[in-house]
Amino acid sequence: MVSINAANIIIDGPHPSDSRWQGKLISQTSLYHFFDSHPRGPGENWPRIAIRIDDYSETLVPANSGIEMQYMSQMPGSSQPNVARPVECIKFTAVIWKTQKQSERIENVVHCNADIRMNEATLSVGALTNYASLMSPASVSSGQVRTFGPKSPSKLLPDYTQQDNRLYTTGRYLFGSLFTQLGYRGPLDGDPRLWFINLAQKSN
């Protein structure tokens, strides 16, 4: 168990056996360290990636919007035991746009807390908040239309509904790990080449 952004997370363990979470790990796809292999040059907006969230653990969208104290890092002197978050996963589909006409679709990608590696870098809450405010360049934007592309929407994350906010906040350790495994530094340097079609509103 480790603390990521002050929450207790069990990581680096066996992937869940539940058939719901069977699929490809990020590390088993061409998404892995993709942006490390394709650094952005001045004014460049290719290649780019669109992600659609297809499923997620229900515990990632808690009934109330308050901080779930039982999962927070134990304070010095506290008599309360450390409790780790349960096994939690997101499943998504990604489309990599190598050029405006050449793409690769990758389905059934699953990322769970057990898939986070012990030596993996983590992103701060501030960096993840920064990503939520990133915009696409107007020259390559589809505006409010959120699709697999090739054009990216004006905002890289959709406007938050209450459920979206809870998913992105509660699951920030998973989203941060997803960014890290993709080699994506947009939360740190403003790279606009990754966007989400949806968050908590699952695809049909």
pLDDT in tens, 70-95: 788 765 566 666 789 999 999 999 99
* Cα–Cα dist 68/178, whole Å: 22
Global pTM value: 0.93
What is the overall mean pLDDT for the chain?
92
Q: Per the structure block, which two tokens stand in for 174?
A: 């998973």
pLDDT in tens, 101-157: 999 999 999 999 999 999 999 999 999 999 999 999 888 899 999 999 999 999 999
Residue with tokens 């056996």: 17
* Cβ atoms of residues 73 and 6 within 8 Å: yes
pLDDT in tens, 183-195: 999 999 999 999 9
Three-state DSSP at 198 gives: coil
Domain ranges of the chain: 2-75+83-196
Three-state DSSP at 87 gives: coil
* Cα–Cα dist 39/10, whole Å: 31
Average pLDDT for 177-202: 95
